[in-house]
C-alpha cells in the first residue's frame, strides 16, 4: 500500500489531540490515515464496513479513560459497553458481539475491578449484546490511572439504509434525540473540584433500540447519524458540514438543555453545544420523513424530548450557524482544545 503524504506538523501530543475537535482531525487525517490507509479515499466514521458472504459487517473500536471512574448515572464499565454499541448503531448496524480489553494498574483495589466487571456484564445484558472475549494487561504502579478499558464491537449493517455525509442534502432536517450536556457536566461536577451542586446524572444508555425503530419508520429518508460524544453537538455537526460541503442552521431555542446543565455552563463559561453526551444522537432525515422520525422517537421511553433542531442549507458551505431567540446568528466552530479534559 502506498503511503500518502504525512501532513502532521505538531511536535508533541497534547490533551487537545484527544478532544474530538480540530487537533484530533489534524492527528487523524495528517498522520494516522496516511500510514494506515495510504492514499485510499475513506470516509472517517465511527464504524468501518466489510462485505462478507452477502452480509455487510460493521466494526468499531473505542477506548475509555474516565475521571472519576464512577459518577451519578454510570461508570467507566457501563460507558465502555454503551459507547461501543452506540458507535455500531450510528452506522445503522445491529450490535452482535463485543470484546473487552482491560489495562490494570498494579495497586488497583480488586473490589473496584469487580465493580466495573459487573457493570460491563450488566450493561451488556441490558443491551442484549454478549461479551465474547477480550484481554487483560497489568502495568506498574504509576504507569496508568487505575483502569483503562478498550472495546471492539461487530454488528450487522441494515441493508435498508446507507448512512453517510455524502447523502446529506439542502432541505434535510436535523433531529436531536433529547437533552444535551448531561454526561459532561455530571462527570465534571463529580470530580468535586467545583463548589457547585446539581441534580444531574449521566445519560449513558444503549441507542440501538431508537435507531432500529427509526430505520423501520424512515429508512428511505434516513441520511446520517452521529452520537455527539467528545466535542458535543458542535463538533459532530461541524464535521458533517465540512464533509458534506453544506451549512447547518440550528434553532438554538429548540435545542433541549436541562436548567441544571445550562446553569452550570453559564457559571463555568462553557457552551452546552460543546459538552460531551453518551446517550443522545443526531439524525439527519429528508424533509418528508422529519415528522414521522420525531413521532417515532417521542413514542419510545426515553425519547419523549426529541426535537427538530435545524436544517441543512447549501450556503455558506462548511459552517454551522445557530439562530437565537433574538434573531441574531452565531457561528458554531469546532473545539481547538478540550474544556473538559478526561471526561470520556
SS3 (DSSP) at 293: helix
Least confident segment among 7-21, 148-162, 254-268, 277-291: 7-21
Cα gap 232→322, rounded to integer Å? 15
pLDDT number for residue 256: 97
Strand partners for 98: 131, 153
Q: At residue 85, does pLDDT exceed 90?
A: yes
For residue range 98-154, list pLDDT tens digits in order: 999 999 999 999 999 999 999 999 999 999 999 999 999 999 999 999 999 999 999
CA 285 centroid distance within chain: 18
Burial tier of 25 (Cβ tally within 10 Å: 0-12, 13-18, 19+): middle
For the record, the C-alpha cell of 47 comes out as 464504524
pLDDT number for residue 33: 84
Mean pLDDT of 211-218: 98
pLDDT number for residue 69: 96
Place of cell 417515532: 296
Q: What is the CA radius of gyration of the chain?
A: 20
For residue range 274-332, list pLDDT tens digits in order: 999 999 999 999 999 999 999 999 999 999 999 999 999 999 999 999 998 777 899 99
Give start and end residues of each alpha helix (H) in the chain: 22-27, 33-37, 76-90, 110-127, 182-190, 208-218, 232-244, 259-268, 290-298
CA 274 centroid distance within chain: 12
Q: Contact, 76 vs 204, CB < 8 A?
A: no
Q: For the chain, give the mean pLDDT.
A: 92
Cα gap 63→177, rounded to integer Å? 24
Model confidence, pTM: 0.92
Q: Enumerate residues 6+ apart whose C-beta is below 8 A from 192.
A: none
Amino acid at each position: 500500500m502506498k503511503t500518502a503524504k504525512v501532513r502532521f506538523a505538531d511536535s508533541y501530543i497534547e490533551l487537545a489531540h484527544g478532544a474530538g475537535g480540530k487537533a484530533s482531525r489534524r492527528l487523524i487525517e495528517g498522520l494516522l490515515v496516511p500510514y494506515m490507509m495510504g492514499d485510499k479515499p475513506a470516509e472517517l466514521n465511527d464504524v468501518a464496513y466489510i462485505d462478507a458472504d452477502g452480509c455487510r459487517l460493521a466494526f468499531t473500536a473505542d477506548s475509555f479513560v474516565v475521571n472519576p471512574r464512577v459518577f451519578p448515572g454510570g461508570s467507566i464499565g457501563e460507558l465502555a459497553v454503551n459507547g461501543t454499541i452506540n458507535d455500531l448503531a450510528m452506522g445503522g448496524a445491529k450490535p452482535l458481539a463485543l470484546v473487552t480489553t482491560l489495562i490494570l494498574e498494579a495497586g488497583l483495589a480488586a473490589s473496584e475491578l469487580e465493580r466495573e466487571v459487573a457493570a460491563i456484564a450488566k450493561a451488556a445484558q441490558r443491551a442484549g449484546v454478549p461479551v465474547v472475549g477480550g484481554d487483560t494487561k497489568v502495568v506498574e504502579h504509576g504507569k496508568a490511572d487505575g483502569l483503562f478499558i478498550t472495546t471492539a464491537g461487530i454488528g450487522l449493517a441494515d441493508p435498508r439504509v446507507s448512512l453517510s455525509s455524502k447523502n446529506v442534502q439542502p432541505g434535510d432536517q436535523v433531529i436531536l434525540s433529547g437533552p444535551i450536556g448531561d454526561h459532561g457536566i455530571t462527570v465534571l461536577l463529580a470530580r468535586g473540584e467545583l463548589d457547585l451542586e446539581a441534580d444531574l446524572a449521566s445519560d449513558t444508555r444503549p441507542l440501538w433500540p431508537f435507531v432500529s425503530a427509526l430505520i423501520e419508520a424512515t429508512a428511505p429518508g434516513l441520511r446520517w447519524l452521529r452520537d455527539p460524544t467528545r466535542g458535543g453537538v458542535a463538533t459532530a455537526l461541524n464535521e458533517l458540514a465540512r464533509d458534506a460541503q453544506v451549512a447547518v442552521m440550528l434553532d438554538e431555542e429548540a435545542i433541549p438543555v436541562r436548567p441544571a446543565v445550562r446553569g452550570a455552563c453559564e457559571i463555568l463559561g462553557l457552551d452546552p453545544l460543546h459538552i460531551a453526551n453518551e446517550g443522545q444522537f443526531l439524525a439527519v432525515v429528508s424533509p418528508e420523513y422529519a415528522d414521522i422520525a420525531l413521532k417515532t422517537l417521542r413514542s419510545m421511553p426515553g425519547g419523549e424530548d426529541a426535537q427538530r433542531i435545524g436544517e441543512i442549507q447549501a450556503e455558506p458551505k462548511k459552517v454551522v450557524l445557530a439562530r437565537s431567540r433574538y434573531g441574531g446568528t452565531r457561528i458554531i466552530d469546532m473545539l481547538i482544545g478540550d474544556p473538559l479534559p478526561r471526561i470520556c
